Amino acid sequence: MFSSCHSFILDLGDEKIRKEFTQEELDEICRKNPHPLPPATPQLLDYVNGFINLTTIDELEKRVRKRMFDFDKEFILDWAQYSLQTVIRLFHSNFFPITDQTEGDMIRRIWNFIDYAFDNMKVDIRTGEMESAASAERRNEQRTENGRELHGHETGLLIKVVKGEISCTEVGKKDHGVAGSKETKELGLKVPKMLKDQLYNLSKVCPEKVENLVVVAFVMMANTCIWIKLGLKLRVVVMDNPSTYVCRINRTDPYYFPSTVVTVGNDFGAMLILISQVRELVDQTIKKLNEPYVLRSMSFANVVSPPTIILPCPPSPKLSPKKTSRLIPGL
């Protein structure tokens, strides 16, 4: 089985990889140039905790309309308030349970609070099946003059800045748990490779800052058959480059979208806190990308020091037609 470790990616959430190291080695890997999630603001924590004991739509609406916040001066609270209003509307409009809604419907109606979290930042966000330019560039690096141009991975939500892509999203409707093929392939291979493509491109633009950069992915899964049991869940995957050519992945635990109005305060509040923390992590990367740096003498583009540059992901091996279904097409 082709794994993310073949691309020099250490996924600390993968038990198969963890078994190859001692606990002391794992601790050392975690301590090397870490990028932890910044803490949520006390104001946001106070605000979302005000909803945890509310169990009806009327109580939630009354609370959420109690005070309006200023977009410029209190953005995080304004975003949290608006996001809560959209969730309450989903229950009002009987949007659940998930049946034949498309992945696009889910991003537009359920997961839109992730998009809105970046409204006051200088980023470009595109939704729909967007092609990753970083992925396409890597897949065409060895293309010959007469070779066929290959497309990059498609992602449900793409976050870009002037210097490159910094985030991607995977949305799935047919989730069968952590051991299911959908989650195993996307969390274990597709998402890590797409993130490394993005980080690899950023390393070429800002090689002197690469150890201070992170790229993030939002992985959302649902189950259309037993939604109440497994739920709509969200994970965040963060990739960084702690040293030389090895990239490291950290995942959050899964967070579940509220299945009833009763759990909106706790379940959705936890998601708001998580996304606010990830937002700050992305903001730190954007600031690092825009920081001034010491100018030095220039050289030709082909003069590169291999140890200081992240290596691109190798393409997945081509299998016989009978076995191609085991891999994700286009990796």
* Residue 311 within any structural domain of the chain: no
Tens of pLDDT along 29-72? Answer: 999 999 999 999 999 999 999 999 999 999 999 999 999 999 99
Q: Average pLDDT, stretch 189-196?
A: 90
Q: Is residue 229 part of a domain?
A: yes
Are 327 and 2 spatial neighbours (Cβ–Cβ below 8 Å)?
yes
Tell me: pLDDT of 226 over 50.
Answer: no
The Cα 216–Cα 166 span in angstroms is 7
pLDDT score, position 1: 45
Q: Is 288 helix (H, G, I), strand (E, B) or coil?
A: helix
> What is the average per-residue pLDDT within 194-220?
92
The pLDDT assigned to 105 comes to 85
pLDDT of the residue at 153: 80
User: pTM, whole model, 2 decimals?
Assistant: 0.88
According to the model, what pLDDT value does residue 229 have?
Answer: 44
Q: Which residues make Cβ contacts (< 8 Å) with residue 260, sequence separation at least 6? A: none
DSSP structure class, residue 36: P
**What total of structural domains would you count in the chain?**
1
Residue 231: per-residue pLDDT: 73
Greatest pairwise CA separation for the chain in angstroms: 65
pLDDT value at residue 77: 98
pLDDT at 236: 97
How far the first Cα of the chain sits from its last, in Å, is 13
Residue 238 lies in a domain: yes
Residue of 209 and 271 predicted with greater confidence: 271
Domain ranges, residue 21: 4-130+153-291
Residue 178 is predicted with a pLDDT of 63
Q: In the prediction, which pLDDT does 238 show?
A: 97
**pLDDT per residue as tens digits for the range 100-147:** 888 888 889 999 999 999 999 999 999 888 889 888 888 887 777 777
- Whether residue 138 lies inside any domain: the answer is no
Query: Does residue 314 fall inside a structural domain?
Result: no
Query: Is there a contact between 156 and 122 (Cβ–Cβ < 8 Å)?
Result: no
What average pLDDT does range 218-230 have in this prediction?
Answer: 64
pLDDT for 112-121, tens place per residue?
Answer: 999 999 999 9
Residue 264 lies in a domain: yes
- Residue 101 in any domain: the answer is yes
306: DSSP letter: G
Q: For residue 251, list its beta bridge partners.
A: 237
Q: Give me the pLDDT at residue 89, please.
A: 94
pLDDT at 195 over 80: yes
Greater confidence (69 vs 8) lies with 69
- The answer to whether residue 143 sits within a structural domain is no
